[in-house]
Homo-oligomer: A and B are copies of this chain.
Amino acid sequence: MIKVPGFLGSGVSSGVKKKGKKDLALIFSEVPAKAAGVFTTNIVKAPPVLVGMDRIKSGYCQAVLINSGVANAFTGKEGLKDSILTSKHAANELGIGESLVIPSSTGVIGGRLPIDKMKRALPKLVKDLREDGLPDVAQGIMTTDAFPKYASTQIKIGNKKGTVVAIGKGAGMIAPNMATMLAYILTDINIGKRALSKALKNSVNNSFNKIIVDGDTSTNDTVLLLANGKLGNTAIGESGAEYKKFESAVTEVATEVAEMIVQDGEGATKVAKIIVKGAKTEKDAEKIARTLGTSLLVKTAFFGEDPNWGRIVAAAGRAGVNFDPNKIDLFFGDQKILSNSKEVMDEKKAQKILQNTKFDITLNIKCGKASSFVIASDITFEYVKINAHYRT
Q: A residues near B, CB below 8 A?
A: 41-45, 71, 73-74, 76, 108-110, 172-173, 214-219, 294-297, 300-301, 303-304, 306, 308-311, 313-318, 322-323, 325-326, 341-343, 379-381, 383-385, 387-392
Contacts and interface: CB of A to CB of B under 8 A. Distances in A.
Quick one: copies of this chain in the complex? 2
Nearest to A316: B44
19 contacts: A42-B318, A43-B317, A73-B314, A76-B341, A76-B342, A108-B308, A108-B310, A109-B308, A109-B311, A110-B309, A217-B314, A217-B317, A296-B296, A297-B387, A300-B383, A301-B390, A303-B384, A306-B388, A381-B381
A387 B110 contact: no
A296 B214 contact: yes
B217 A318 contact: yes
B108 A387 contact: no
B387 A295 contact: no
Contacts of A326: 76
Nearest to A308: B391
B110 A306 contact: no
Contacts of A308: 108-109, 390-391
Nearest to A319: B43
A300 B266 CA distance: 12
B384 A380 contact: yes
A172 B315 CA distance: 13
